[in-house]
């Protein structure tokens, strides 16, 4: 009986939160990097293993030498799925300019689950991984998804953005280029 009472008390709040989230998901994607939080001191990125498509354990250390935009997402996260096409377009525009987009899925269903979504959305991002037990995400202090972390070629976090945005708009690309130049100038 207590559980039923608790459910009845929480149901309006859960419904309201879901309604607000769905109702404003388009607005979330239209933001730009204004909510990007730059770290005052760069932080090392965890070297914990992720699962690659060929079932190998890999770390982001394997991708050092380029700027990485690491996006934490899941198939059940509507804003995450909504921003994937813009991440793919950004990756196409910036791959030859010293950037790579990396997708780290929080899905427990493995690649059979994530690949279905990526194919449906025609996402061609080369680096897609699964954080099977969410160890990497916890070590990276990812508390919500989508979260995107900007990483230097040396493997240090420059900053992060929590929430979904339209990644391939011209203002966002210019800001990413400015961050890149700022880091390279040091």
pTM of structure: 0.82
CATH topology of domain 31-185: Glutaredoxin (3.40.30)
pLDDT at 179: 87
Strand 67-73 and strand 127-130: the pairing is unpaired
Structure tokens of 113? 């689950």
Count of beta carbons in the 10 Å neighbourhood of residue 134: 13
Average pLDDT, the chain: 84
pLDDT at 6: 34
Q: Is the pLDDT of residue 141 over 80?
A: yes
Banded pLDDT at 29 (limits 50, 70, 90): low
Count of beta carbons in the 10 Å neighbourhood of residue 87: 25
- First CA to last CA distance, the chain: 63
Report the distance separating Cα 88 and Cα 108, nearest Å: 23
- Matching residue, tokens 């982001």: 60
């Amino acid at each position: 009986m207590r559980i039923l009472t608790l459910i009845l008390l929480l149901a309006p709040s859960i419904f309201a939160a879901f309604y607000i989230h769905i109702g404003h998901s388009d607005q979330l994607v239209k933001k730009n990097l204004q909510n990007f939080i730059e770290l005052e001191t760069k932080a090392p990125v965890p070297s914990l293993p992720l699962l690659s498509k060929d079932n190998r354990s890999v770390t982001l250390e394997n991708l050092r030498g380029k700027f990485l935009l690491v996006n934490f997402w899941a198939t059940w996260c509507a804003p995450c799925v909504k921003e994937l096409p813009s991440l793919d377009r950004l990756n196409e525009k910036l791959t030859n300019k010293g950037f790579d987009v990396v997708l780290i899925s929080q899905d427990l269903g493995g690649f059979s689950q994530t690949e279905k979504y990526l194919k449906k959305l025609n996402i061609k991002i080369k680096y897609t991984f699964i954080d099977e037990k969410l160890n990497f995400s916890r070590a990276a202090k990812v508390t919500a998804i989508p979260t995107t972390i900007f990483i230097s070629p040396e493997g240090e976090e420059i900053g992060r953005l929590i929430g979904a945005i339209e990644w391939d708009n011209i203002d966002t690309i210019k800001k990413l280029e400015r961050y890149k130049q700022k880091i390279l100038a040091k």
